Amino acid sequence: MHKIVSKAVLSPNVTRMDVEAARIAQIRQPGQFVIVHRDGAAERIPLTIADADAQAGTITLVIQAVGKSTKELVALEPGQTIADISGPLGKPTELISSGRALCIGGGVGTAVVHPIAQGLKRQGVSVLSIIGGRSKEWVIFENELRALGEVQVCTDDGSYGRKGFVTDAARDALTAGGIDIVYAVGPVPMMRAVANLTRPFGVHTIVSLNPVMVDGTGMCGGCRVEVGGQTLFACVDGPEFDGHKVDYELLMDRLTTYREFEQESSRRCDDHTCRIGLS
């Protein structure tokens, strides 16, 4: 059992939880994730390890509550427990050892960018982070990233930072030169747009993919993606891949496979239902 130590709402549907998981906290590396299983009847959910405190024995999970399982998970309160957390899973991030890196985070993807920026900072790499959200209230992990390097914030409505998309600011940074690598995490259309932007500049671009994942071992095949014409599995071959080689159309198609079932399940998960069995 993994006790929830603290909980905070980061944006309207995004929650941060610090959870006891001592062994994972000691060995996790940037880019790796865990699979969280709330209890016997719950779905297994893959979540990036957004941060960790090896001394306290805790890991930070950032959860976007969009369906029944994630709504039930964020309904847990400090002092309550999660039955199982498996990990760390996946391959660590490919970190450069010198130079300047551009980290781009969209929405909840900014939490995934954070451990990458941490790893780069430890390597002595200069980090520029460009993060975005629909409006100010949707921008997360800004202060944490400012502790690691320069940060530029973009909002769709201009309520905070620069008005426009993260790709607008990224284009300016790439045009100015001096960027050795780009890491992008966010909605699939955003990552595809970043990859299309960086390709003419010839800058290596790494994206973190989020296909349907069940077991985290490659056995179920649900997280298969096509990269460079090869079928790979995000849970064991990734979740990070060369952004210039990903088949984004196929990825988006597979992400919608269970959408109708997810929407129906979420519809039934009203506040009363999602609290059942959580106390």
Mean pLDDT by 10 residues, the chain (279 residues): 96 95 96 92 89 97 90 94 94 96 96 97 97 96 97 96 96 97 96 97 95 72 88 91 95 68 50 45
- Tokens at 19, concatenated: 């959870």
Instruction: Report the distance separating Cα 164 and Cα 175, nearest Å.
Output: 17
Q: Which residues contact 229 (CB under 8 A, 6 or more apart)?
A: none
Helix axes 188-198, 166-176, angle to 10 degrees: 20
Return the closest-CA partner of residue 109 out of 264, 202, 243.
243
CATH topology of domain 2-89+268-275: Elongation Factor Tu (Ef-tu); domain 3 (2.40.30)
Q: Tell how far CA 155 is from the center of its chain.
A: 19
| Beta carbons of 141 and 111 less than 8 angstroms apart | yes
From residue 54, how far is each of 60, 80, 90, 232 by CA, in Å? Answer: 11, 21, 19, 32
Dihedral angle sign, alpha carbons of residues 198, 201, 206, 211: positive
Q: What residue ranges do the domains of the chain occupy? A: 2-89+268-275, 100-255
Q: Which residues contact 278 (CB under 8 A, 6 or more apart)?
A: 72, 75, 76, 80
Instruction: Report the distance separating Cα 193 and Cα 196, nearest Å.
Output: 5
pLDDT computed for residue 266 by the predictor? 45
pLDDT computed for residue 41 by the predictor? 78
**What's phi and psi for 265, nearest 5 deg?**
-65, -40
Return the closest-CA partner of residue 114 out of 63, 88, 86, 148.
148
pLDDT computed for residue 222 by the predictor? 75
What is the domain class of 100-255 according to CATH? alpha beta
Q: How many residues does the chain have?
A: 279
pLDDT computed for residue 277 by the predictor? 40
